[in-house]
């Protein structure tokens, strides 16, 4: 199905620079910014490991979610409720100076495949065709998938493998499958999993038969492993363990549980939601209290797929990218960066998350351990509400020069992180 002239191009403006062909959507190709450029004081509001520094690539751009970078160093980010933003740095100073926008509807998911940009528009996945070096796409857009469920967890994140399999995460509409169809959970037919489509085919319709994997409460980060081609996703764990079951969970237990998870997903996998959650105390999947669990009961969870890596509770992992560049130290190669958005459900304990973590490679997989990479983004370690956070990391991308981009959907900032050496 092809829809004509609905992109709604809003134009291109220069932001502190001058490039007439860029302003007209021309084909001038900027060079990638040097890793020797001066970084911002305080790295624009984050703490990084020794040898790394950051510039504020863009600021005040709304609520940028996922992000991609073309080989010509043009940056695209989908803005929640505000379409798609295109940015470029034409003078190689690490900061965007030309900006344009298109599409009338934003979302979360965004994926670049060759010269095609796939975007989440809530109930459908669209494909825009880009001309190399040109800021804005053609004025035609293809509808690849339509009829996606709306409401509830609304992110429809996207990943495409080398065979053209298009994976879409569809989150649950509830916390732990509330309602009359709790067991078996009625939502699982059309939600709380990953669906697979063909990236080359237009006019596909969402259906239960296209489900790839299930039992994933809310998969917001999706990425394809650069060596194996396997799908990895992040899962947001359930809420309200302490609030609903104070006899089983202290407030500290409820803050740290359930774990947020990094999953390797294959066809037919079941990761256990809503029946199971990963308990940090026993380091395994256990049965939820709504289904008869007591923090140690495994029951039906013995057949659920376990995570590759477990993180503290309620950090809210929103972005996932494998590091395929060469400018960071070798130990980062083929490891995964995860952007955590922070969450509201650690109360009455202080909120946490608001950071980017790194999961090192372990052969052709990932380690079960993780380390902190970009931290102190909340601005305080004692905030009690997510709206007090200075920044909330959401999207991640790696450019051709090996720099890492991080979006902040709370205050509209995009950073570019480079390695300058010891």
pLDDT of residue 33: 52
pLDDT of residue 14: 52
pLDDT of residue 206: 98
Global pTM reads: 0.93
pLDDT of residue 139: 86
pLDDT of residue 63: 97
Q: Where exactly are the structural domains of the chain? A: 2-419
DSSP for residue 179: S
Q: How far is it, in rounded angstroms, from Cα 116 to Cα 166? A: 13
Is 287 within 8 Å of 247 (Cβ atoms)? no
Of 187, 134, 125, nearest to 1 by C-alpha is 125
Task: Give the CA distances from residue 120 to residues 62, 83, 190, in Å, rounded to whole numbers and listed in that order.
Answer: 17, 10, 17
pLDDT of residue 383: 87
Joined tokens for residue 250? 């202290």
Q: How far is it, in rounded angstroms, from Cα 347 to Cα 254? A: 9
What does the pLDDT look like over 114-130, one tens digit per residue?
A: 999 999 999 999 999 99
Regions of the chain with pLDDT less than 70: 1-37
Instruction: Respond yes or no on whether the N-terminal peptide bond of residue 258 is cis (omega within 30° of 0).
Output: yes
pLDDT of residue 5: 30
What CATH number belongs to 2-419? 2.120.10.30
What does the pLDDT look like over 30-60, one tens digit per residue?
A: 444 555 567 999 999 999 999 999 999 999 9
DSSP secondary structure of 3-46: EES-S---EEEESS---HHHHTT----PPPPPTTSPPPGGGGT-
Q: How far is it, in rounded angstroms, from Cα 271 to Cα 57? A: 37
Q: How far is it, in rounded angstroms, from Cα 135 to Cα 117? A: 12
Q: How far is it, in rounded angstroms, from Cα 411 to Cα 177? A: 32
């Amino acid at each position: 199905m092809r829809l004509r002239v609905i992109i709604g191009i809003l134009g291109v403006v220069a932001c502190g620079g001058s490039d007439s062909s860029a302003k007209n959507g021309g084909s001038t190709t900027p060079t990638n910014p040097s890793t020797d450029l001066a970084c911002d004081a305080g790295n624009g509001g984050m703490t990084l490991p020794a040898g790394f520094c950051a510039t504020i690539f863009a600021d005040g751009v709304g609520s940028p979610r996922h992000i991609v970078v073309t080989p010509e160093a043009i940056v695209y980010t989908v803005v929640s409720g505000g379409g798609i933003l295109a940015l470029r740095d034409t003078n190689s100073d690490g900061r965007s100076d030309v900006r344009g926008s298109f599409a009338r509807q934003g979302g979360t998911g965004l994926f670049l495949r060759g010269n095609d940009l796939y975007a989440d528009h809530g109930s459908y996945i669209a494909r825009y065709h880009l001309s190399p070096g040109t800021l804005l796409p053609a004025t035609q857009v293809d509808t690849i998938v339509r009829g996606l469920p709306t409401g509830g967890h609304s992110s429809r994140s996207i990943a495409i493998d080398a065979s053209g399999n298009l994976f879409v995460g569809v989150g649950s509409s509830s916390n732990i499958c509330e309602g009359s169809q709790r067991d078996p959970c009625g939502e699982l037919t059309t939600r709380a999993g990953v669906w697979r489509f063909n990236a080359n085919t237009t006019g596909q319709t969402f259906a239960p038969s296209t489900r790839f994997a299930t039992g994933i409460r809310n998969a917001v980060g999706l990425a394809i492993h650069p060596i194996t081609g396997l799908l990895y996703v992040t899962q947001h764990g359930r809420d309200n363990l302490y609030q609903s079951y104070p006899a089983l969970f202290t407030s500290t237990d409820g803050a740290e549980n359930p774990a947020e998870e990094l999953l390797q997903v294959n066809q037919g996998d079941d990761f256990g939601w809503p029946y199971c959650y990963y308990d940090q105390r026993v380091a395994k999947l256990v049965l939820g209290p709504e289904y008869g669990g007591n923090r140690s009961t495994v029951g039906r969870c013995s057949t659920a797929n376990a995570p590759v890596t477990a993180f503290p509770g309620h950090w809210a992992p929103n972005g996932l990218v494998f590091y395929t560049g060469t400018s960071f130290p070798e130990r980062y190669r083929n490891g995964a960066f995860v952007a955590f958005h922070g969450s509201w459900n650690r109360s009455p304990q202080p909120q946490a998350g608001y950071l980017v973590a790194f999961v090192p490679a372990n052969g052709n997989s990932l380690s079960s351990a993780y380390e902190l990479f970009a931290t102190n983004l909340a601005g305080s370690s004692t905030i009690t509400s997510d709206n007090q956070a200075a920044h909330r990391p959401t999207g991640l991308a790696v450019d051709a020069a090996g720099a890492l981009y991080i979006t902040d959907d709370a205050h509209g900032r995009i950073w570019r992180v480079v390695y300058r050496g010891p």
